Every structure is written in C-alpha cells, then in structure tokens.
Structure 1
Amino acid sequence: MSTMTSARVTEVLTRLHQDAEAADHPFMQKMMAALEASGDTIEQAAAQLIADERANYPAVYNDHAEHFLSVTPDYGRFLYAMARATKATRIVEFGTSMGISTIYLAAALRDNGGGQLVGSELEPGKVARARAHIASAGLADLVDIRQGDALETLKDIAGDIDLVLIDGAWSLYLPVLKLLEPRLRPGAVVLAENAFDEDYLGYIRDPAHGYVAQTLPIDAGRGNEFAVRILD
C-alpha cells in the first residue's frame, strides 16, 4: 500500500488542509480585495512584495507567521508523484511552513525505500508545528527541518539533490537556487510555487543556465514553475 493512502498520513493531511483553509481563507479574501481595489495585476503586486522583502527581510516575511499558505491537495499529490517518478532519495525544501508539502514529499521518500528531506523555515513557531505534524504522520525519521535563514541552513547539504521545492520568501528564490545548484544532479527537478520573481524566472528559463522550464497548469494563476536540470 502507498504511504500516501495510509490511514495515518491521510488523517493528518485531511486535518491540515482543513486547518489551512480555515486559517488562510479570510486572509486570502482580504488580499484579493486589496488587489482588486488597487487595480494592480498579480504580477505587479508580487513585484512590490518582492521589493519590500528585499528592503526589509525577514520582517515582511514574518508578517505571515500565523498563516499556512500551503500547497493545495492537487499540488501535494503532484509533489508526491514527482518525487516517486524521479526516485528521489534526497529532497530539499525551502519554506516548510506547517509541513503539509513536507508530508507529501516524505511519503514519497518512504515509498522510494528511504532517504532524507532537508527543509528550511525561518519562523520558529512554524518549525515546531511542522515537526509535530510530520511526527504525527509517522515520517519524522525521513525529515530534517532547519530553523533559520535558508542561505545559512542549506549551505551544507551532503550529496546529490534529486528534487527541490522552493516555496518561501519570494525574494530568495534565485539566491536559494544558486546556493543549491552545484549539488543538483543531472535530471533533478526544481519546483517553485508562487514563482513571480522576474529574476528567478528569467534565470531558470534561460537555457544557458542548464534548465528546461515551464509554468504548470496545476492551480493556474499561482505561478507554479517546473524545471529540470539538464547540465551537470
């Protein structure tokens, strides 16, 4: 039986997705109302947020400390499928949040025969909650969540990386990718949620940098970018 369909994992994910919807729906409605009132496109709003992060990180990022801002169930299943398809044994996640995406990826590691997921999360409260959720799902032995600035916590990844999920502070997408890039094996998959940073998109879509990339139709509008490393 797949770990994804085990009673333990299913119960935890169902509860967390319900909690995420309850916690984030009012926040997202407020954000969308503000966006409509401003007349900005989502790309314009994202550009402003990225500029604010760069000027005042981590304070801007920590404004969302109580929100899940998690992947959807559809995208979570896609994460599991990608980790299985790549036979991943070493996964890196930037932006663990409450651990929902981590559970999908760790379940794939279990079904791949084992491995390690190294996650990075800035906010201490989220780290504690993510660890508890992952333990409840029975996957703690596969996961190492590191609290702090990802440019420090992800410096010492040992061995080749099979899959990366980037879903943290938007202003750090490209710096985190460049930090991990020397450890990406040929064929490694890089997935970025909310990939609205033009610097990141321009870099990963330029074939000269060694990737094939495109935007995914899953959760259209959320800026889900998919890339495969084609250079060693």
Structure 2
Amino acid sequence: MAADRTQKLLNLERPTAELLFLLVTASGRKRVLEIGTSNGYSAIWLACALKKTGGDPLTTIEQNAAKAAQARENLRRAGTQKYAQVIEGDATRLCAALDGPFDCVFFDADRISAPAQLELLLPKLADDVLLIADNARSHPQEIADYLAAVEALPQFDATLIPVGKGLHVAYRRPPANGNATR
C-alpha cells in the first residue's frame, strides 16, 4: 500500500457503495457529480444507478491522471463507460466551470476542499439536491468545515449514517410550491 495518499486507491467499502446506489436510485437522481474518482469503484455504482434512473452520465472528477485512466478502464470492464465521464484536474477549479443543475453531489476527495467546492456548486444545484460525503466518522477534523457549511444552509436536513467510514447525507427540501429544478 502506498504511503502517499495521492497514490492510494481510496475506495468505498461495499456496504457504503450499496447504500450510495440505493440513495440515488430510490430518489430518482438524474444528474450526479462525484468529486474524487480514485480507480472508479464508486463511479461504477453511481453509473449503474444512473442507468437505472435513466439519468445523464455521471460526471466524476479525479486529479490524479493514473487513477483517472484506471477508472476509465474499470468503467469499461464493468460495461458502464457510457454512463460516466471521468474528468481529470483540480476539483475546485473544475467545479467552477461545470454546468448544472446537479441533483446529487458525492464528495469523496480530500475533504479539506469540500467547503470551497460546495460554495462554487451552490448555484448549480437542483432545488431538491442530495449532498453526500464519505469519511464523516473516519476523518472528523478534516470534514468538520464541510459539515458546518452544510449545517448553515437553509432548508437542509442532514444525518450521519454509520456505514463504512461514515456517510453524511443532506437533502434540501424543495420550495413549498413544489417546483423543484431537475
């Protein structure tokens, strides 16, 4: 196992991946953004969920070129490559350039950058967006600023699910008139 975090394969545990799949499919998500692809394990689960919901291909961001290439190959092997687009580069810069709206964002990168990414994405989120972040129990100090940023957002309900390394899930209730943007 590599000592440098950037070289490690940072995959979800299977129960976490299964829950992610269930959350996306059960809520009918159509436009999902994943920040932190690694070698594509969670991207495969999300791509399968979007195939099931009839959604757009997953947009997934990975900074490390070797991991991005491995993710593309793993998506191809899983037969899900047409349901996911792997983008290489700095996630914060890329978040600024992405078009929305996204109805689900899965934060699974360095956690420290997540608050800045969230701020950039806010105008690009659907009214009834689902925000999901991994490592809420395993890295509480690193994810604390992100959790505080979500807590400060109006109309959001959030919970911490004790699966894997801890999955933080937040949902923004749509406006009272029921006109959610998708």
Which of the five TM-score ranges fits, normalised by the shorter chain? 0.7 to 0.9
Higher CA-based Rg: 1
* TM-superposed deviation, 1:65: 2.7
2:157 corresponds to which of 191, 194, 212: 212
2:52 corresponds to which of 95, 111, 118: 111
Residue 75 of structure 1 aligns to a residue whose secondary structure is helix
Aligned ranges for residues 182-221 of structure 1 at < 5 Å?
A: 182-195=123-136, 196=140, 197-206=143-152, 208-219=153-164
For residues 125 and 172 of structure 2, the distance between their equivalents in structure 1, rounded to whole angstroms, comes to 7
Which sections of structure 1, spanning at least 5 residues, go unmatched?
1-22, 28-62
TM-score (norm 2): 0.86
Aligned ranges for residues 136-175 of structure 1 at < 5 Å?
A: 136-175=77-116
* TM-superposed deviation, 1:231: 5.7
| Aligned match of 2:166 | 223
Q: Which amino acid aligns with 1:199?
A: D
- Whether the aligned pair in 1 keeps the contact of 2:38 and 2:67 (CA below 8 Å) is yes
- Whether the aligned pair in 1 keeps the contact of 2:112 and 2:145 (CA below 8 Å) is no
**After TM superposition, what 4+ stretches of structure 1 lie above 3 angstroms from structure 2?**
none
- Whether the aligned pair in 2 keeps the contact of 1:211 and 1:231 (CA below 8 Å) is no
Which sections of structure 2, spanning at least 5 residues, go unmatched?
176-182
- Whether the aligned pair in 1 keeps the contact of 2:31 and 2:55 (CA below 8 Å) is no
Q: Percent same amino acid among aligned pairs? A: 29
Residue 159 of structure 2 aligns to a residue whose secondary structure is strand
Answer 1 or 2: which has greater strand percent.
2
Q: Please list the CA deviations of residues 147-168 of structure 1 after superposition, one character each: whole Å capped at 9, or x if unmatched.
A: 1101222233334211111010
Q: Please list the CA deviations of residues 167-221 of structure 1 after superposition, one character each: whole Å capped at 9, or x if unmatched.
A: 1012111111111111211221111011332221112123x433211211212xx
Residue 97 of structure 1 aligns to a residue whose secondary structure is coil
For residues 210 and 116 of structure 1, the distance between their equivalents in structure 2, rounded to whole angstroms, comes to 28
User: How many aligned positions are there?
Assistant: 170
TM-score (norm 1): 0.68
